[in-house]
Amino acid sequence: MNDFTFLYRGRDTSASPEQMQQTMQKWRSWFKELGEKGHLKDIGHPLENAGKVVKGKQKAVTDGPFAEAKDVVGGFTLIQARDLEQAVEISKGCPILELGGSVEVRPIQVLNM
Amino acid sequence: MVAVLTRLFGVHNLALAEDVVQDAFCRALEVWAFRGVPENPSAWLMAAAKNRALDVLRRERTARTYEPELSRFLGSEWTLAPEIEEMFTDKAIKDDQLRVMFSCCHPRLPEEAQVMLILHILCGFGVDEVASAFVTTYTAVEKRIPRAKKILAGSKKLFDTRAPADFAARLPAVQRALYLLFNEGYHGASAEFAVRAELCQEAIRLARLLLEHPRGATPATYALTALMYLGAARLPGRVDAAGDLNSLADQDRSKWDRKLISEGLNYLDLAASGPSITEYHIEAAISSVHAIATRLEDTDWDEIVSLYDMLMTIHPSPIVALNRAIAIAQRDGPERGLEEIDSIADADRLQSYPFYAAALGELELRRGQYDSASAHFLTAIGLARNEMERRFLKQRLSACERAG
């Protein structure tokens, strides 16, 4: 088993409370399913769209991330899968895809010293 | 509400669950004092408890360990709120109540403590209310409940009602506890009609909850529920508003609740399947014979005596034998009844039971032996366990004096 990070982009944060609730229930069932199949290492968290960006040697702080809403990372999860191919298969069940968002599947890099 | 929260936080965090409910009630009192009671107070309270639970879970995410299978989903914002939402749905609440009910019937707890715990956690009775239901002191209950909770908390996990073998093994204890809960209302010592009625209602509510579970809906559970309905139907005749007991012969049968009787008979029909006959079946059947007789004279005493014969075979006890003797007296006259009482095998175990002496008194009274009857009633009065029994027996004593 290898570890992967799923980065979710394009969460719709302007939905009505009812829609939100529906979407959240979908996320929940998806996570339940992943948990039962043993793919869930850490559910991670959803993230607010706005925050601060700290940059460079000057440690300059700006409001951010200021990307297009669809490009902002809206949350993350740690996944266990056999290989990248399986991880990609798993990501296809993510409810964010139904709403036009995306999942970025990134293998955890193993650093050897 | 405590049941759901106990599932949420884990049974070892029972105190936390109770605190959250307590908080929700306090908030309700504050807010309602200003804005008035909302349209749906129980929904409001549920919502308040839900929010409070979310707060606690967020704040103490790392400080406590929760129910192991849940902690992963409660630990992430992806799933925390939906998870809690799910737990507060009607179905989930019922599941959790069932799990708490089974957990309370822990084999290490004495039966009475199981019943007290069910009343306290599932029925929301405060310590003082439990004390008044069992006619014991506040301090006694205050000592027993925490001790029982400690044993419960030691089990770390709520009882899992999905495991068929465990379910079947614990089920008789649960039925027994509900039976005792009902009896506490029906035969118990509380002089307040309201307390008795509430205990009976709670027992019925929990029995029906058990019936909703596919493995809980056994013939024995149906029989138990039938027994409760048939008993509850007759409660208004048995105890009057002043808390005075009426003997079966003196009851105003028009006060019996016809609707409850027909529902009880319905449950009794549903109980009539499967190979085994339990004491609940027979007790319910006896109760049904009484319930369908519109007058005392119409009672089918033959049927009742033969039911008591059956009860003596599967569940013999001196009290059953005594009741059987009383039924025989109704059928064949007081002399035969007295003979039967004389031949009760372990009658010495009845010596401290006030209704043993009272039965002797009643039969002596009926055959005109007023002095002997009075003497028995005096013995019974000396043994009475509470004021209500004492009042009832004194009234019988004065009946002897009037007759003699």
Give the model's pLDDT for residue B69. 62
User: Cα(B208)–Cα(B225) distance, rounded to whole angstroms?
Assistant: 7
Cβ contacts of B209 within 8 Å, gap of 6 or more: B94, B97, B98, B101, B216
Tell me if residue A16 falls in helix, strand or coil: coil
A22-54: per-residue pLDDT in tens?
Answer: 888 899 999 999 999 999 999 999 998 889 999
**Structure-block tokens of residue A28:** 């929940």
Mutate which of B73, B76, B84 to test chain A, going by most A C-beta atoms within 10 A?
Answer: B76
Quick check: A28 and B73 CB within 8 A? yes
Bridge partners, residue A103, by sequence: A8
CA distance B44 to chain A (A): 18
Query: CB contact, 8 Å: B72 with chain A?
Result: yes
Quick check: B76 and A75 CB within 8 A? no
pLDDT by 10s per residue, chain B, length 404:
788 888 778 777 888 888 888 888 888 888 888 888 888 888 888 888 888 888 888 887 655 666 666 778 888 888 888 888 888 888 888 888 899 999 999 999 998 899 999 988 888 888 888 887 777 788 888 999 989 988 888 877 788 888 899 999 999 999 999 998 998 888 877 767 777 888 899 999 999 999 999 999 999 999 999 999 999 999 989 887 777 888 888 899 999 999 999 999 999 999 998 888 999 999 999 999 999 999 999 999 999 999 999 999 998 989 899 999 999 999 999 999 999 999 998 888 888 888 999 999 999 999 999 999 999 999 999 998 788 889 999 999 999 999 87
User: Cα(B89)–Cα(A32) distance, rounded to whole angstroms?
Assistant: 18
Query: CB contact, 8 Å: A28 with chain B?
Result: yes
Query: CB contact, 8 Å: B82 with chain A?
Result: yes
Which ipTM was obtained for this model?
0.81
**Structure-block tokens of residue B81:** 């709120």
Give the model's pLDDT for residue B71. 78
A91-111: per-residue pLDDT in tens?
Answer: 999 999 988 899 999 999 988
Quick check: A28 and B76 CB within 8 A? no
Quick check: A24 and B72 CB within 8 A? no
Give the model's pLDDT for residue B28. 84
How many other CB atoms are found less than 10 A from the CB of residue B195? Answer: 19
Quick check: B82 and A46 CB within 8 A? no
* Residues in chain A closer than 8 A to B47 (CB atoms): none
Query: CB contact, 8 Å: B75 with chain A?
Result: yes
Evaluate whether A62 touches A55 at the Cβ level (below 8 Å): yes
Evaluate whether B286 touches B231 at the Cβ level (below 8 Å): no
Give the model's pLDDT for residue B62. 59
Tell me if residue A61 falls in helix, strand or coil: strand
If you count them, how many residues does chain B have?
404
- CA nearest B379: which of B402, B396, B403, B399? B396
Bridge partners, residue A7, by sequence: A76, A104
Residue of A nearest to B74 (CA): A43
Q: Which DSSP state fits B239?
A: B
* Residues in chain B closer than 8 A to A77 (CB atoms): 78
Query: CB contact, 8 Å: A37 with chain B?
Result: no
How many other CB atoms are found less than 10 A from the CB of residue B322? Answer: 22
User: Cα(B216)–Cα(B167) distance, rounded to whole angstroms?
Assistant: 8
Residue of A nearest to B76 (CA): A45
- Domain ranges, ordered by start, for chain A: 1-9+40-113
User: Cα(B60)–Cα(B356) distance, rounded to whole angstroms?
Assistant: 58
If you count residue pairs, one on A and one on B, with CB atoms under 8 Å apart, how many are there? Answer: 40
Evaluate whether B12 touches B153 at the Cβ level (below 8 Å): yes
Give the model's pLDDT for residue B63. 59
Name the class of domain A1-9+40-113: alpha beta
Q: Which of A24, A42, A77 is nearest residue B82 as measured by Cβ atoms? A: A24
Quick check: B77 and A46 CB within 8 A? yes
* Residues in chain A closer than 8 A to B77 (CB atoms): 45-46
* Residues in chain A closer than 8 A to B69 (CB atoms): none
User: Cα(B226)–Cα(B290) distance, rounded to whole angstroms?
Assistant: 13
CA distance B83 to chain A (A): 8
Q: What is the pTM of this model?
A: 0.80
User: Cα(B260)–Cα(B266) distance, rounded to whole angstroms?
Assistant: 10
Q: Which of B72, B77, B86 is nearest residue A35 as measured by Cβ atoms? A: B72
Tell me if residue B392 falls in helix, strand or coil: helix
Evaluate whether A50 touches A63 at the Cβ level (below 8 Å): yes
